[in-house]
Amino acid sequence: MIIEYAAVAIGVAAIAGILIWHKTQIQRRIRAIDSQLAKMQKEIDVLHMQESRRLMVELKANSRVESPQIDPDNGSAEIGGGEVVRLAKTPPTTPA
């Protein structure tokens, strides 16, 4: 009977050892995957910032091209009847 208990104890210890080893292996894999995901997230963040900068520069360039250039010397803007009217100076003429 004592031999049987010893065999069961050895079996339980072996199973416990295998389960602990398996758990540590899974934890190592999870940490490795987590570090790879963190690295990929950093790369994605860098790419996102680069793309955002590119789009902002493109939008800024497009807005410069599409928007009319307003000269600050053109006078003041007046509002009359719900419409905004800008009083523009005549462009200076150069002597021929």
Reported as a single tens digit per residue, the pLDDT across 7-47 is 999 999 999 999 999 999 999 999 999 999 999 999 999 99
pLDDT at 37: 97
Other beta carbons within 10 Å of 74: 13
Span between the terminal Cα atoms of the chain, in Å: 123
Rounded-to-integer distance, Cα 14 and Cα 18, Å: 6
- The first and second tokens of residue 12, run together, are 């339980």
pLDDT(1) > 90 = no
Rounded-to-integer distance, Cα 52 and Cα 61, Å: 14
Q: What is the arithmetic mean of pLDDT over 53-70? A: 77
Whether pTM > 0.75 for this model: the answer is: no
pLDDT at 61: 84
The DSSP code for 71 is P
pLDDT(67) > 70 = no
Question: Average pLDDT, whole number, for the chain?
Answer: 81
